[in-house]
Amino acid sequence: MLKIPVLLKGKIMNRKKYTESVTLGQVKQNPQISLQPYDTGWIKSYREEEEERIKTALQEKALLIEHVGSTSVPGLSSKPIIDILLLVRDSSKEDDYVPNLITKGYVLRIREPEWYEHRMFKSKTKDINLHVFSLGCKEAQEMLNFRNWLRINDHDRLQYEAAKQELVSKKWQTVQEYADAKTPIVKRIKERANNYFS
Per the CATH hierarchy, to which homologous superfamily does domain 16-197 belong?
Beta Polymerase, domain 2 (3.30.460.10)
pTM: 0.92
Per-residue pLDDT at 12: 56
Residues 6+ apart with CB under 8 A from 12: 5, 6
Measure Cα distances from 136 to 63, 133, 141, 192 in Å.
11, 9, 8, 20
Q: Whole-angstrom distance between the N-terminal and C-terminal Cα of the chain?
A: 35
Per-residue pLDDT at 13: 62
pLDDT by residue for the chain (198 residues), tens only, comes to 334 444 445 555 677 788 888 999 888 887 889 999 999 999 999 999 999 999 999 999 999 999 999 999 999 999 999 999 999 999 999 999 999 999 999 999 999 999 999 999 999 889 999 999 999 999 999 999 999 999 999 999 999 999 999 999 899 888 888 999 999 999 999 999 999 999
CB 116 within 8 A of CB 137: yes
